[in-house]
């Protein structure tokens, strides 16, 4: 494949956009460098770059595009939204319908608020939890990423880890001192932390299924124990479902494990590809937020009609359970095919998968926490990434991210992907 036009655009970009990218994980730093591919068009399960190359897309824009690119129902909603005027700064029918739709899908959302990104959603839940409890400290799990608000850039998973900034410069020691991290899936560590900081913890924040040091599922009972221990310590529980909500079924990861946190942060998929975030949960907690309560949160673009209508359209399509059955079965095919390809050539891989989302770790040990993810081979992942890219398969450029199957992938795409995977492992290991 020829990437000369990408190179030309990227070099031009570097002279104007800091680092040539608008989000660090789009750079190829975490895969040993190279020119990020500059895309100009996307449809269904495919991307087309500025050189005219076509790729099967497993990036899914880092999660939102569960329906694939340019889904006609979502595009129609966006077109209609632009024709009706794109921003009012007033209440609209669509935000009401969308909030009701979310409530119906996620009954724990007794009250909800829309914001513009996952970062904002999580950041606000922390403020709400602090306002509701009168406490300051937050417990999070090492390697989980919760957006780039100051407090959340402590031991923060895929983006920062990939580029080697475990704790961002510019975050004050005072902020960092309010964040306590414990290993994911480690109930004892959480229990002793809560004991050690009695009466200080406002909330325990968790990705119920991790998407940010690769896909990592909670071990049996982990989430319920997080909730029970936190509540016993007087702390609220926040589930960051920015990646997970509507990813595996029409609802949350909490519903998959039959658990009930106090607050949720949502984003990505619920915007149908447009910018969005949302937070919500128990009414008594949410009533702390202005204009009803003393916790302030606002936004010029919050609940903008285009995002609301795109989100509504996306969820209308996702209501069909067969979409998730298909993504799960394609995820299964990819997992098996990747395993077989690796085994055939003697490569050591551990594949973590939930539904249509999976991560290929290079190493023979299970990965249930961040430290174990860090220990897997970055070099082998980088080689796989570049070799797949040259053959037209686009996965996220970091060993800490996931392959996302979308509703737009076909049996044929999976078959083609697995043929390429076979050829790639042969090239790299034979």
Ligand X SMILES: Cc1ncc(COP(=O)(O)O)c(C=O)c1O
Q: Taking CB under 6 A as the rule, does residue 127 contact ligand X?
A: no
- Closest CB to ligand X among residues 143, 211: 211
Q: Taking CB under 6 A as the rule, does residue 400 contact ligand X?
A: no
d(C-alpha 238, C-alpha 279), whole Å: 10
Catalytic annotation present for 240: yes
Contacts of 175 (CB under 8 A, 6+ apart): 150, 151
CB 386 within 8 A of CB 427: no
Count the residues in the chain: 430
Q: Taking CB under 6 A as the rule, does residue 207 contact ligand X?
A: yes
Q: What is the DSSP letter of 146?
A: -
Tokens of 214: 């690769």
- Closest CB to ligand X among residues 29, 391: 29
Tokens of 73: 């129902």
Contact with ligand X (CB under 6 A): which of 200, 240, 401, 413? 240
Choose, from 58, 145, 264, 370, the residue flagged as catalytic. Answer: 145
State the DSSP string of 166-232: SB-TT--HHHHTTEEEE-TT-HHHHHHHHHHTTTTEEEEEE-SSB-SSS-BPPPTTHHHHHHHHHHH
Q: Are strands 39-43 and 179-182 parallel, antiparallel or unpaired?
A: unpaired
- Closest CB to ligand X among residues 211, 356: 211
Q: Taking CB under 6 A as the rule, does residue 212 contact ligand X?
A: yes
Give the nearest distance from C-beta 263 to ligand X in angstroms.
13
d(C-alpha 132, C-alpha 236), whole Å: 9
What radius of gyration, in Å, describes the C-alpha atoms of the chain? 21
Q: Taking CB under 6 A as the rule, does residue 211 contact ligand X?
A: yes
Binding mask 301-340 for ligand X (x = CB under 6 A): ----------------------------------------
Binding mask 347-366 for ligand X (x = CB under 6 A): --------------------
Q: Are strands 236-240 and 201-206 parallel, antiparallel or unpaired?
A: parallel
Give the nearest distance from C-beta 347 to ligand X in angstroms.
28
* Helices 321-345, 305-318: crossing angle, 10 deg rounding: 80
- Closest CB to ligand X among residues 242, 349: 242
Nearest to 302 by CA among 270, 275, 273: 275
Q: Are strands 111-115 and 137-141 parallel, antiparallel or unpaired?
A: unpaired
Q: Taking CB under 6 A as the rule, does residue 28 contact ligand X?
A: no
Give the nearest distance from C-beta 121 to ligand X in angstroms.
7
Give the nearest distance from C-beta 120 to ligand X in angstroms.
7
Catalytic annotation present for 268: yes
Binding mask 133-172 for ligand X (x = CB under 6 A): ------------xxx-------------------------
* Helices 222-232, 187-196: crossing angle, 10 deg rounding: 10
Q: Taking CB under 6 A as the rule, does residue 202 contact ligand X?
A: no
Residue at shortest CB range from ligand X: 118
d(C-alpha 393, C-alpha 386), whole Å: 9
Give the nearest distance from C-beta 404 to ligand X in angstroms.
12
**Angle of CA points 202, 143, 170, to nearest 5°:** 75
Tokens of 370: 């961040």
Q: Taking CB under 6 A as the rule, does residue 242 contact ligand X?
A: yes
Binding mask 252-271 for ligand X (x = CB under 6 A): ---------------x----
Catalytic annotation present for 422: no
Give the nearest distance from C-beta 271 to ligand X in angstroms.
9
Q: Taking CB under 6 A as the rule, does residue 401 contact ligand X?
A: no
Give the strand order in the sheet containing 393-394.
39-43, 46-49, 54-57, 393-394
- Closest CB to ligand X among residues 145, 264: 145
Contact with ligand X (CB under 6 A): which of 119, 161, 328, 352? 119
State the DSSP string of 385-421: HHHHHHTTEE--SSTTS-EE--TT--HHHHHHHHHHH
Give the nearest distance from C-beta 25 to ligand X in angstroms.
8
Residues classed as catalytic: 145, 240, 268
Which residues make up the interface to ligand X (CB under 6 A)?
A: 62, 117-119, 122, 145-147, 207, 211-212, 240, 242-243, 267
């Amino acid at each position: 494949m020829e990437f000369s036009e990408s190179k030309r655009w990227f070099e031009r970009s570097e002279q104007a956009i800091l680092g040539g990218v608008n989000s660090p994980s789009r750079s190829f730093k975490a895969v040993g460098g190279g020119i990020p591919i500059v895309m100009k068009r996307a449809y269904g399960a495919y991307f087309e770059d500025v050189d005219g190359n076509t790729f099967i897309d497993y990036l899914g824009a880092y999660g939102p595009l569960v329906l694939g690119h340019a889904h006609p129902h979502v595009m129609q909603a966006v077109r209609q939204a632009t024709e009706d005027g794109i921003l009012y700064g007033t209440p609209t029918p669509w935000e009401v319908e969308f909030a009701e739709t979310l409530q119906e899908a996620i009954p724990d959302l007794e009250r909800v608020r829309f914001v513009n990104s996952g970062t904002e959603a999580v950041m606000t839940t922390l403020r709400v939890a602090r306002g509701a409890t009168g406490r300051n400290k937050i417990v999070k799990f090492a390697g989980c990423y919760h957006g780039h608000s100051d407090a959340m850039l402590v031991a923060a998973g895929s983006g920062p880890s990939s580029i080697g900034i475990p704790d961002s410069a510019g975050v004050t020691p005072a902020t960092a001192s309010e964040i306590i991290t414990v290993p994911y899936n480690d109930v004892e560590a959480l229990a002793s932390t809560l004991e050690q900081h009695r009466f200080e913890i406002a909330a325990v924040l968790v990705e119920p299924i991790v998407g940010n040091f690769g896909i990592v599922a909670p071990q049996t009972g982990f989430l319920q124990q997080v909730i029970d221990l936190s509540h016993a310590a007087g702390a609220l529980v926040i589930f960051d479902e920015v990646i997970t909500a509507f990813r595996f079924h029409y609802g949350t990861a909490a519903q998959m494990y039959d658990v009930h946190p106090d607050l949720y942060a949502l984003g990505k998929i619920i915007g149908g590809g447009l910018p969005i975030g949302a937070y919500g949960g128990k009414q008594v907690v949410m009533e702390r937020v202005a204009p009803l309560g003393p916790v302030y949160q606002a936004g010029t673009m919050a609940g903008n009609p285009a995002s609301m209508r795109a989100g509504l359209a996306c969820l209308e399509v996702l209501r069909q359970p067969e979409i998730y059955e298909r993504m799960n079965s394609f995820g299964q095919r990819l997992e098996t095919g990747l395993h077989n390809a690796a085994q055939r050539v003697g490569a050591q891989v551990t594949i973590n998968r939930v539904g249509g989302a999976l991560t290929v770790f290079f190493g023979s040990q299970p990965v249930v926490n961040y430290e174990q993810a860090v220990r897997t081979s970055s070099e082998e992942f980088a080689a796989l990434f570049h070799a797949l890219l040259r053959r037209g398969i686009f996965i996220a450029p970091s060993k800490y991210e996931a392959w996302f199957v979308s509703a737009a992938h076909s049996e044929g795409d999976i078959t083609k992907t697995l043929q390429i995977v076979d050829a790639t492992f042969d090239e790299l290991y034979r």
